Structure 1
């Protein structure tokens, strides 16, 4: 799952290009191996160990793989919520019940293909009941500020959580080089609690 949408400012645009280019150089084996390591690290998080409901996403392309993590959470009996992208770039949510519960959905006139939960969907506010939210991203800095793809889908999710006075653990899943010293910040940015990479867990604030 990833954000899509309007163009960001020039600094973020350049950063996104560089980070996406680095991901583009990864092989399928690199992505699979990183996904397995990422799952092992994430499953050790106290925030996930005690969680009854986790909002996550299905990775696509060279994104850090989430498939092994989704299956492990589901096997634990965790209620796993997955996003479905709406025409306005907001997110609805459905339940993960294993690989067979996913539908292949094309967006953007067929240019982008995502794996999304099958119907019935639970509504945009379903995420407010999550104990932890696993976020996609391209980078995070030492303050816990996350750089997304720029579409604003997850900015809306975070704003919805804030309006509902919901405080799940926010965790971003990344590759090791994507934990950086400093990212450009905007007033609406909300820091994450932790970043999980294949080799480490980074905690913030």
Structure 2
């Protein structure tokens, strides 16, 4: 399933990706949870992922503290504040990461909204990631701490599908944001 979804993304033109990124930012910013958020955990899109730069800059312009992940050697995620595109550095696996001070793996607990990457989500809110497990750790950390930020996956239209494979450790997200709109889920993984 991952290879099929990645192949579909590879067919998107540069213009399609730019248009989708703009619409995605608008849709995400329309979420009521975003209007009251003082801290949002997000990520910098790379490759053919749905674009996040416009959203990151819009959040920062609103005075929102934006946390971005920093991939550690064990695939867990540390966090640092987004200080603008000029403060992003190329890191392992082609990722772009903030160059600022590291805040620790628990910094994500301060976020009111956590935006996560994915390849697809199903109608139960179960997310299909790339398989590295980094965000599975983040979601488990949030649950273990009793934190309840809104969890939203950023996707292209057509990536909200009927069913994705689920493993025991997988946790549902609350919403999927696509260029076409926000899809809400009840979190029932059954």
- TM superposition score category, shorter chain reference: over 0.9
> For structure 2, which runs of at least 5 residues remain unmatched after alignment?
none
After TM superposition, give the deviation of residue 119 of structure 1 in Å.
2.9
In structure 2, the residue matched to 1:180 is: 161
Once the two structures are superposed, residues 140-180 of structure 1 have per-residue CA deviations (whole angstroms, 9 ceiling, x without a partner) of 00000000000000000011111111110000000011000
Aligned-residue RMSD, C-alpha: 0.8
Give 1:21-100 correspondences, 5 Å limit: 21-100=7-86
CA–CA separation in structure 1 for the residues paired with 2:82 and 2:160: 29
- Could you tell me whether the CA contact under 8 Å between 2:87 and 2:100 is conserved in 1? no
After TM superposition, give the deviation of residue 136 of structure 1 in Å.
0.2
Q: TM-score, normalised by structure 1?
A: 0.89
Q: TM-score, normalised by structure 2?
A: 0.96
Query: Does residue 203 in structure 1 map to residue 184 in structure 2?
Result: yes
In structure 1, the residue matched to 2:119 is: 138
> For structure 1, which runs of at least 5 residues remain unmatched after alignment?
1-14
Runs of 4+ displaced beyond 4 Å: none
